[in-house]
Amino acid sequence: MAFFRVALSGGIGSGKTAVTDFLAAHGITILDADVFAHRVTASGEAAVVEIAGAFGPSVLTPSGDLNRAALRDLVFADETKRRALEAIVHPKVRAAMNEAADEASGPYVVFSIPLLVETGQAKRFDHVVIVEAPIALRAARVKKRSGLNQESFEKICLSQASDEERAALAHDLIVNDGPLDALKIKTDALHQKLLSLAAAKNG
């Protein structure tokens, strides 16, 4: 069982997935909040019923599944609705991730949480890692990856914590402003540090 819990976060396009992929290659368990969010809102899950009750039938497909695009459009520009959705989904995601962490093996486990700062979870973890990159580089990466335009990218950034807010909570800050090879070197060094920290805590 892994007792040392690491939170990893960063803004959209910062390179969180690349870092967790490198850590996973070392055999580290990665728990991705986005994956768990999809899992707890899958067909037949209790959250789907709660979401439909809060937002109406327009957020469901004809077969009763969650219409993620419709829901995203509904809450994206409305902070009150977004918070209502988060109040339904986030506790279920946290519970599922904690359950998975309890079953994980290895020296430490990584919780990849894009909204770590926004949801006030940083203090729940032994160590916080923030991945950071220049805003223009992040925008270019996101556009190449998903075709997101500049306006949409900026709206997402405005809805997230600032680089300064994230950095203020970081025990380790990884600046991802170069090629993947450079990021791998930084991540490998981080892994060695986390192994030492985990060993010290786990005894």
Spatial CA neighbour of 37 closest among 101, 74, 91: 91
Enumerate the domain spans of the chain. Answer: 1-28+108-203, 32-105
31 vs 141, residue with greater confidence: 31
pLDDT of residue 119: 87
Q: How much is the mean pLDDT over the chain?
A: 91
pLDDT band for 150, please (50, 70, 90 cuts): confident
pLDDT band for 2, please (50, 70, 90 cuts): low
pLDDT one-digit tens code per residue, 66-124: 998 888 888 877 889 988 999 999 999 999 999 999 999 889 999 999 989 988 999 99
- The answer as to CATH 3.30.420.40 being correct for domain 32-105 is no
pLDDT of residue 202: 77
Identical fold for domains 1-28+108-203 and 32-105, yes or no, is yes
pLDDT of residue 155: 80
pLDDT of residue 23: 98
Q: Calculate mean pLDDT across residues 125-133.
A: 96
- DSSP labels for the chain? ---EEEEEEE-TTS-HHHHHHHHHTTT-EEEEHHHHHHHHTSTT-HHHHHHHHHH-GGGB-TTS-B-HHHHHHHHHT-HHHHHHHHHHHHHHHHHHHHHHHHH--SSEEEEE-TTTTTTT-GGGSSEEEEEE--HHHHHHHHHHHH---HHHHHHHHHHS--HHHHHHT-SEEEE--S-HHHHHHHHHHHHHHHHHHHHHHH-
Q: Calculate mean pLDDT across residues 133-150.
A: 86
Q: State the pTM of this model.
A: 0.89
Above 90 in pLDDT, residue 33? yes
Of all residues in the chain, what percent carry a pLDDT higher than 90?
Answer: 67
Q: Calculate mean pLDDT across residues 186-191.
A: 98
Beta-sheet pairing, 172-175 with 127-132: parallel
Pull the structure tokens for residue 142: 């996101």
pLDDT of residue 1: 52
Above 60 in pLDDT, residue 145? yes
pLDDT of residue 133: 93
- The answer as to CATH 3.40.50.300 being correct for domain 1-28+108-203 is yes
Spatial CA neighbour of 113 closest among 17, 201, 3: 17
